[in-house]
Chains A and B, each alone.
Chain A
Amino acid sequence: MTWTPFNRVRRGAYFDSVALMRAAARIEAMPGIAAASLMMGADANKAMLRDAGLLNHEGETAGPNDLIVAVTADTARHAEAACDAGEAELAGSRPTSRSRARSLSGAVEDLPGANLALISVPGVYAAAQARAALARGLHVMVFSDNVSFADERALKELARGSGLLLMGPDCGTALIAGVALGFANEVRRGDIGIIAASGTGLQEVACLVDRLGHGISHGIGVGGRDLSAKIGGLATFAAFDALERDAATRHIVIVSKPPAPEVARALFARLATCAKTVTVCILGARTLDIPAGVRAAHTLAEAAAMACGIAETKKIAAGPAAPARQSGRRFVRGLFAGGTLAAEAQLVLLDAGLAVASNAPAPGAVHGAIGTAGHLVLDLGAGEFTIGRPHPMIAPAMRNALIAAALADPAVSVVLIDLVIGHGAHEDPAGIVAGLGPFPMDGPAVIASVTGTDRDPQNRARQGAILRAANVTVADSNSAASALAAARIVAAR
């Protein structure tokens, strides 16, 4: 094999030496090239090229202001290709991207007047980041979970002392001053404020309020443990004070699972003194001393209706009738991405007299897992399903194997699913589900709800159409879908 030097000389060109070295390193890897170098034609450079066997008669003619593209190659064709590529490297310009700050302090310099830190680093680092943000006078939303109880308490006390809002930890959704933060939807601005211990709970209520023609002032996420005995509702009380003072808010909705008894007492005592009207939706609570004047909703849809001043949930369109009964098929298989929606579904089924098992049992349900016989509701966003795998709200295809298994199970009468759209969610959850269909009319009924609005990027109306085209029954809300599922089971007995 003979390696011959090939040179190309560009007169009157100037290039920075490092750019030339980068280009040389790139083209040296090309086929048929033994060595490559791009240098300006100064004597010292020509000497280097000569010593390396890269200079020929053409390169010798180059002057200090000329560029030499030099390669040793096996064929002229390979040499030409490499020289072309080398020059293309130099000609190509990369658009300058803004540099990012490396830390909070750099970011605050980049964005004077920054007022909120949105923290989604791994949980073990989240508390330190939150503390640093509070120390700088920023309000904080902690999306991260796996923050300790002790850290959560300390952070919320620090926030209270500084007059700052700390949302979370494990706060997936917030709507502040018309801005959707985290996994949130495009909803109309209005006079209903929401305080929610759960992201999908906040999303469902906000979207239903929007569909009823009303709007949201702010949606504040307080994290799933805020109303526990250890935390004592620190964020909930701070949020409540803020919404009571907020001129844009006329009505306040509180969404939670059952609080610790002493926290519930303190909360209800506070609600009783509120100057504005309040609706509470405590999913899974049967008996609570909710003060007179405070509206109590049993489902998220009912909470949305009450907040809008609509007395009956029937005002939300009832949705299509349950499909006809079939023999042999007896059970509901619920496969959920949203934890609160899974809990709400269980409660609706339990209310209808069904015995329900779940990996995240709501009050009244028993523990279950994949393979458990009977009515089964799985929260697929729970820890055991998301180790080393993306959350089903981001990657809905995760759920498809379980949907397919349920469809193939002769004992399953209804497959009940949620779809959550909006910012942060998958770009087409309906398409992912519809890809398994169209679902046969003689198989299990597939009943779904879509949490979202028509103004979300995925467009709720379009998602619904895609599902219906695959023979999915689309209900108006998660509780309505669950009620349809229960009705189908009961009717078949």
Chain B
Amino acid sequence: MSIASLLAGPLKVVNIGLSGFARDLAGSGVAVADVDWSPPPNLSPELQAALDRLLADPGVDAANEEAFERLAKSDPVLLDVRRADEAVPGLGDRMILHAGPPIEWPRMCGPMRGAVQGAIVLEGWASDLVSAERLADSGAIRFAPNHQFGAVGPMTGIITRSMPVMVVENRAFGNRAYCTLNEGLGKVMRFGGNDASVLERLRWIAASLGPTLGAALRHNGGLALKPLIARGLAMGDEMHQRNVACTSLFVRAIGPALAEVVEDRANLAAILRFVGANDQFFLNIAMAMAKAIADPAREVARSTVVTCLSRNGTDFGIHVAGLGARWFTAPVEMPKGLYFPGFGEADANPDMGDSAIVETVGLGGFAMAASPAVAGFVGAGGMAEALRITREMYEITLGRSPDWKIATMDFAGVPLGIDVRKVVAAGQAPIINTGIAHREPGIGQVGAGVVRAPLACFHAALLACAAEYR
């Protein structure tokens, strides 16, 4: 607009700085947008130089566009449920897959150790929990991150050969991702539970729930997940802490096929009761879906898009497209939130689980504006806080999802494509909605809240990108 046009008016002002000016202007009836500005972080010269170089590189911008396109045109379909050692390539005897970046037995947190012990007994590699502990400590067990095998798991995230896993295929690219079935709340293996009741439930899931759901899905020809997510978003889910709408939609979608493949009515009732009683059942489906969406971006050379956010209760790890399976890790942070009766901050386990894969594709904390009640865990809570958080995530992502919209933001798409450069430039790390586990194994969830990915992961990743993308 020319100076002459400006002088002709009317003025439309963007105010950056002292809010009093915006108030005066608004009071005089002038159209004004007041920016909630905060100073950019003070970066070391090394980081600043790396950032400047990557921001100025048109090759990186082009690669990021390609990565964003891959995320956007994904077509995830829930195909089947199969035994882990049939579905997950490379998973064999005496192997335990876990959530988060690589970690060995001595550094594992309480719940993860409890879960490992339980899994060893479940698979028959030891006869009781005490000898299971010895075995875990002996070096005879190979531990590896779920992500390295195309899989994800919530909280402790343990996957071993006999456990059933859901299979999601991204039809746009042909890749697959896997996740266990959600066990329910309370004393379960994902919170480190390992007693007889936990193992009995897992055996029932392996013998009954898993195969039955698998048969129903095959009978149904699979279940397209993107439209289901879109509906859930409109109903107040964000697919991390809130999955009740999607769980309900899932039961509605698979119900007829279930009824057609299950002959024993008691069995059918038990399955429906089990799934229906668990508000969070859909979480595991959302996680496998998110991994199937994110993985195709891994091959885009020269991209700075984040392809995974993950924690093991000790370390937080991220992957960046273009740098493949290289982990950038830092100590996890403690979630901040609210607690169930009888529990408090002193009981909380540090941040844990592969579930942050949903934030990686724009859901969870990124979609907070779709689920404003969840913002109650942070600060002032309420609609304003929820909007503020999603808007903050817009600042660190490349664009918005064309398929997943937030009604409360006039149908703006969820923030999609976390760019390491933007995270470092803004000094704002991704925000994750999370459950809070008890630090003692086997007690279960004690609260819920929010946690940030550590900025240190993104600093390390940025420097690596700058060094590699010359």
Residues of A whose CB lies within 8 Å of any CB of B are 16-19, 21-22, 24-25, 35, 37, 39, 44, 48-49, 51-54, 70, 94, 96-104, 106-108, 110-111, 113-122, 125, 128-129, 133, 137-139, 143-144, 163-165, 176-182, 217-218, 238, 241-242, 245-246, 248, 423-424
* A103 CA / B30 CA spacing, docked (Å): 20
Taking CB as reference atom, which chain A residue is nearest B373? Answer: A16
* A111 CA / B384 CA spacing, docked (Å): 18
> Are B31 and A111 in contact, with the CB atoms below 8 A?
yes
Contacts of A16 in B (CB 8 A): 373, 376
* A462 CA / B92 CA spacing, docked (Å): 88
Quick one: which of B14-37 are within 8 Å of A by CB? 14-18, 20-21, 24-25, 28, 30-37
Distance between A11 CB and nearest chain B CB, rounded to angstroms:
21
Would you list the 8 A-B pairs with minimal beta carbon distance, nearest first?
A: A120-B17, A177-B9, A52-B342, A99-B387, A37-B341, A18-B376, A21-B338, A100-B36
A-B contact pairs, 14 of them (CB 8 A): A18-B377, A96-B384, A99-B387, A101-B36, A101-B391, A106-B394, A120-B15, A120-B17, A120-B21, A121-B16, A133-B14, A133-B16, A163-B3, A176-B11
Selected contact of A163 from candidates B2, B341, B448, CB within 8 Å: B2
Quick one: which of B358-385 are within 8 Å of A by CB? 373-374, 376-377, 381-384
Contacts of A108 in B (CB 8 A): 14, 33
Selected contact of B39 from candidates A39, A54, A121, CB within 8 Å: A121
* A219 CA / B56 CA spacing, docked (Å): 38
* A16 CA / B338 CA spacing, docked (Å): 13
Distance between B188 CB and nearest chain A CB, rounded to angstroms:
13
Quick one: which of B295-317 are within 8 Å of A by CB? none
> Are B338 and A423 in contact, with the CB atoms below 8 A?
no
> 9 extra interchain contacts, Cβ-Cβ under 8 A, other than A21-B377, A176-B7?
A97-B384, A99-B391, A101-B33, A102-B395, A106-B35, A107-B33, A116-B6, A138-B14, A246-B7
> Are B4 and A246 in contact, with the CB atoms below 8 A?
yes
Taking CB as reference atom, which chain A residue is nearest B391? Answer: A102
B196 interface residue per 8 A CB criterion: no
Max chain A CB contacts within 10 Å: which of B4, B6, B9?
B6
* A19 CA / B374 CA spacing, docked (Å): 9
> Are B24 and A180 in contact, with the CB atoms below 8 A?
yes
Residues of B whose CB lies within 8 Å of any CB of A are 1-18, 20-21, 24-25, 28, 30-37, 39-40, 185-186, 338-342, 373-374, 376-377, 381-384, 387-388, 391-392, 394-395, 447-448
Selected contact of B16 from candidates A96, A111, A118, CB within 8 Å: A118
> Are B342 and A48 in contact, with the CB atoms below 8 A?
yes
> Are B14 and A116 in contact, with the CB atoms below 8 A?
yes
Taking CB as reference atom, which chain B residue is nearest A22? Answer: B376
Q: Known: A111-B31, A122-B39. Is A102-B392 also a contact (CB below 8 A)?
A: yes
Q: Known: A101-B391, A118-B16. Is A22-B381 also a contact (CB below 8 A)?
A: yes
Contacts of A117 in B (CB 8 A): 13-16
Taking CB as reference atom, which chain A residue is nearest B34? Answer: A100
> Are A177 and B7 in contact, with the CB atoms below 8 A?
yes
Selected contact of B3 from candidates A22, A48, A118, A139, CB within 8 Å: A139
Q: What DSSP secondary structure best describes chain B's contact surface?
A: mixed
* A148 CA / B30 CA spacing, docked (Å): 31
> Are A114 and B3 in contact, with the CB atoms below 8 A?
no
Contacts of A44 in B (CB 8 A): 185-186
Selected contact of B18 from candidates A18, A102, A120, A163, CB within 8 Å: A120
> Are A242 and B7 in contact, with the CB atoms below 8 A?
yes
Taking CB as reference atom, which chain A residue is nearest B382? Answer: A94
> Are A106 and B395 in contact, with the CB atoms below 8 A?
yes
> Are B13 and A218 in contact, with the CB atoms below 8 A?
no
Q: Known: A97-B384, A119-B16, A242-B3. Is A182-B21 also a contact (CB below 8 A)?
A: yes
> Are B374 and A18 in contact, with the CB atoms below 8 A?
yes
Taking CB as reference atom, which chain B residue is nearest A176? Answer: B11
Taking CB as reference atom, which chain A residue is nearest B19? Answer: A100
> Are A125 and B39 in contact, with the CB atoms below 8 A?
yes
Contacts of A100 in B (CB 8 A): 33-36, 388
Selected contact of B12 from candidates A17, A99, A113, A217, CB within 8 Å: A113
> Are A111 and B1 in contact, with the CB atoms below 8 A?
no
* A197 CA / B318 CA spacing, docked (Å): 52
* A238 CA / B4 CA spacing, docked (Å): 11
Taking CB as reference atom, which chain A residue is nearest B386? Answer: A99
Q: What DSSP secondary structure best describes chain A's contact surface?
A: mixed
* A317 CA / B35 CA spacing, docked (Å): 45
Contacts of B8 in A (CB 8 A): 177
Contacts of B373 in A (CB 8 A): 16-19
Taking CB as reference atom, which chain B residue is nearest A106? Answer: B391
> Are B28 and A110 in contact, with the CB atoms below 8 A?
no
Selected contact of B342 from candidates A51, A101, A107, A178, CB within 8 Å: A51
* A7 CA / B392 CA spacing, docked (Å): 40
> Are A102 and B36 in contact, with the CB atoms below 8 A?
yes
Distance between A119 CB and nearest chain B CB, rounded to angstroms:
5
* A133 CA / B16 CA spacing, docked (Å): 10
Taking CB as reference atom, which chain A residue is nearest B340? Answer: A48
Distance between B376 CB and nearest chain A CB, rounded to angstroms:
4
Contacts of B395 in A (CB 8 A): 102-103, 106
Q: Known: A18-B338, A106-B35, A165-B6. Is A115-B1 also a contact (CB below 8 A)?
A: yes
* A118 CA / B18 CA spacing, docked (Å): 9
* A17 CA / B14 CA spacing, docked (Å): 38
Distance between A7 CB and nearest chain B CB, rounded to angstroms:
12
> Are A119 and B17 in contact, with the CB atoms below 8 A?
yes
Distance between A433 CB and nearest chain B CB, rounded to angstroms:
22
Q: Known: A111-B12, A177-B6. Is A424-B35 also a contact (CB below 8 A)?
A: no
* A242 CA / B6 CA spacing, docked (Å): 10
Contacts of B14 in A (CB 8 A): 104, 107-108, 111, 114, 116-118, 133, 138
* A418 CA / B7 CA spacing, docked (Å): 31
Contacts of B36 in A (CB 8 A): 100-102
Distance between B156 CB and nearest chain A CB, rounded to angstroms:
21
> Are A114 and B377 in contact, with the CB atoms below 8 A?
no
Selected contact of A179 from candidates B28, B341, B394, CB within 8 Å: B28
Selected contact of B341 from candidates A70, A94, A104, CB within 8 Å: A70
* A96 CA / B380 CA spacing, docked (Å): 12
> Are A115 and B376 in contact, with the CB atoms below 8 A?
no
> Are A143 and B37 in contact, with the CB atoms below 8 A?
no
> Are A118 and B342 in contact, with the CB atoms below 8 A?
no
> Are B32 and A111 in contact, with the CB atoms below 8 A?
yes
> Are A52 and B341 in contact, with the CB atoms below 8 A?
yes
Contacts of A245 in B (CB 8 A): 4
* A423 CA / B39 CA spacing, docked (Å): 26
* A238 CA / B32 CA spacing, docked (Å): 25
Distance between A456 CB and nearest chain B CB, rounded to angstroms:
11
Contacts of B383 in A (CB 8 A): 96
* A218 CA / B11 CA spacing, docked (Å): 12
Distance between B280 CB and nearest chain A CB, rounded to angstroms:
12
Contacts of B340 in A (CB 8 A): 21, 37, 48
Max chain A CB contacts within 10 Å: which of B20, B35, B448?
B35
> Are B342 and A35 in contact, with the CB atoms below 8 A?
yes
> Are A103 and B35 in contact, with the CB atoms below 8 A?
yes
Max chain B CB contacts within 10 Å: which of A104, A118, A125, A165?
A118
* A108 CA / B4 CA spacing, docked (Å): 21
* A47 CA / B12 CA spacing, docked (Å): 57
* A423 CA / B377 CA spacing, docked (Å): 39
> Are B341 and A102 in contact, with the CB atoms below 8 A?
no
Contacts of A119 in B (CB 8 A): 16-17
Contacts of A115 in B (CB 8 A): 1, 5-6, 11-13
Contacts of B387 in A (CB 8 A): 99
> Are A101 and B35 in contact, with the CB atoms below 8 A?
yes
> Are A114 and B33 in contact, with the CB atoms below 8 A?
yes
Contacts of B13 in A (CB 8 A): 114-118, 179, 181
